[in-house]
């Protein structure tokens, strides 16, 4: 496999070095956005994107597919179209100082390694494109849809799905049952209360009644630490204990005590890209610290992403976000 190293790379800050190699494990939202930011800022860089699937899933668009704005198949973007980034259809199974071990048995190591592997999800699958499409077919014929939250770290996107269902089928009864949720998530659900009320979505702390004919009960998946992230320490710039090896995405956010939400993962990718580009160009990892950084004020950080999630663009107008991602972000790779 051309470009793969099993030896320690030269110092990326060494003068006279032209081509740098960056390995990104995970082709989800954060991995793709990081690749985009790096490719846009660096000319002499080789980026490898390691993911076992042949396509990227634009999971932020699942509520749009539910609302009929997009087709589910539109959310799959083939890695075969990549030009500036090389897709390696494999999976990282271990992290060592010597590099990232692949399921195929090889080891890949660049000047920088970034694990953008998200978190391990336990529960009903509505967070993948295929799982969401199957869920959609079940909802089509249902009279009632009940989302059951009974875990520490739930997948937050179910709220947008509930809203999309009521948008498309206002006659259906949709309810959210917060049987248990980690106290750190209470502020997030409280912030959505006005949105749920607007669409007629019932929110209660009571468990759902016994399932009747025509009802669909959905157990919202719990986010658990990804196996690759369990033994990793994460610093302020998402660095781990291994040289120039970083962790971003849901597992990283959980380790940092932050809510594992999509906007947070994109923010991490943007910050890390700044740091890597700065180190390559200037010899020191430097990041612009804005007023929303969690390192300055965790509460303001949470408030910022709450605003982004609850006061953002109406669902019908998010088609523009999809087109932006497909043509200018993924399309630029």
Kindly tell me if the per-residue pLDDT of 291 is higher than 90. Answer: no
Rounded mean pLDDT, 9-34: 77
**H or E stretch covering 100:** strand 99-102
pLDDT tens per residue across span 191-240: 778 888 888 999 998 998 886 788 999 888 888 889 999 889 998 889 99
Mean pLDDT score across all residues of the chain: 82
**pLDDT score for 286:** 67
Backbone angles phi, psi at 305, to 5 degrees: -75, -25
- Residue 62 is encoded by which pair of tokens? 């699942």
Topology alike, domains 20-119+225-329 and 129-222: yes
Torsion over CA: 127, 129, 130, 134 (sign):
positive
**pLDDT score for 8:** 37
The span from the CA of 149 to the CA of 113, in Å, is: 35
**pLDDT score for 232:** 94
In sequence order, what DSSP letters do the residues of 21-80 get, joined into one string?
EEEEE--SHHHHHHHHHHHHH-SSEEEEEE-SSSEEE-GGGHHHHHTTSS-GGGGEEEGG
**pLDDT score for 187:** 67
- Residue 179 is encoded by which pair of tokens? 């049987």
DSSP state of 329: I
Domain locations in the chain? 20-119+225-329, 129-222
Torsion over CA: 124, 126, 131, 136 (sign):
positive
Domain 129-222 architecture: 3-Layer(bba) Sandwich (3.50)
pLDDT tens per residue across span 43-79: 889 999 999 999 999 988 888 888 888 899 999 999 9
Kindly tell me if the per-residue pLDDT of 296 is higher than 60. Answer: no
Rounded mean pLDDT, 91-99: 93
Rounded mean pLDDT, 22-29: 95
% of the chain with per-residue pLDDT over 90: 44
What are the C-alpha distances in Å from 34 to residues 19, 103, 104, 327?
18, 23, 25, 16
pLDDT tens per residue across span 241-268: 999 999 999 899 888 877 777 778 888 8
Question: pLDDT band for position 331 (50/70/90)?
Answer: very high
The CATH number of domain 20-119+225-329, selected from 3.40.50.1370, 3.40.50.1820, 3.30.470.10, 3.50.50.60: 3.50.50.60
**pLDDT score for 200:** 93
Kindly tell me if the per-residue pLDDT of 29 is higher than 80. Answer: yes
For the sheet containing 112-115, what is the strand order? Answer: 85-88, 45-50, 20-25, 112-115, 245-247
Closest CA to 108 of 98, 117, 118: 98
Backbone angles phi, psi at 140, to 5 degrees: -50, -45
% of the chain with per-residue pLDDT over 70: 82
Closest CA to 111 of 279, 231, 284, 238: 279
């Amino acid at each position: 496999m051309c470009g793969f190293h099993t030896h320690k790379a030269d110092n990326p800050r060494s003068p006279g070095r032209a081509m740098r190699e960056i390995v990104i494990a995970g082709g989800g939202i954060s991995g793709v956005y990081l690749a985009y930011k790096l490719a846009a800022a660096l000319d002499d860089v080789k980026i490898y994107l390691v993911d076992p699937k042949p396509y990227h899933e634009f999971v932020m668009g699942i509520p749009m597919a539910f609302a009929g704005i997009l087709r589910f198949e539109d959310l799959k973007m083939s890695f075969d179209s990549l030009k500036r980034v090389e897709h390696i259809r494999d999976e990282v199974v271990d992290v060592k100082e010597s590099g990232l071990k692949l399921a195929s048995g090889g080891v890949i190591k660049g000047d920088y390694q970034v694990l953008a592997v998200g978190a391990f999800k336990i529960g009903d699958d509505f967070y993948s494109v295929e799982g969401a499409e199957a869920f959609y077919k079940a909802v089509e014929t249902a009279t009632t849809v009940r989302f059951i939250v009974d875990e520490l770290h739930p997948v937050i996107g179910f709220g947008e799905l509930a809203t999309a269902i009521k948008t498309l089928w206002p006659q259906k009864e949709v309810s959210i049952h917060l049987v248990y949720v980690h106290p750190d998530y209470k502020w997030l659900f409280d912030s959505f209360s006005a949105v749920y009320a607007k669409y007629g979505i019932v929110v209660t702390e009571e468990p759902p009644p016994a399932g009747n004919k025509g009802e669909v009960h959905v157990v919202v998946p719990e986010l658990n630490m990804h196996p690759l992230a369990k033994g990793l320490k994460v610093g302020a710039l998402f660095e781990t204990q291994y040289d120039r090896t970083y962790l971003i995405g849901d597992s990283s956010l959980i380790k940092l005590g932050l809510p594992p939400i999509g906007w947070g993962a994109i923010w991490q990718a943007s910050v890390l890209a700044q740091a890597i580009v700065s180190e390559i160009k200037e010899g020191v990892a430097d990041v612009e610290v804005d007023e929303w950084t969690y390192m300055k004020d965790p509460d303001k950080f949470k408030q910022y992403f709450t605003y982004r999630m609850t006061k953002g663009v109406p669902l019908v107008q998010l088609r523009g976000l999809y087109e932006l991602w497909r043509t200018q972000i993924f399309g630029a790779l």
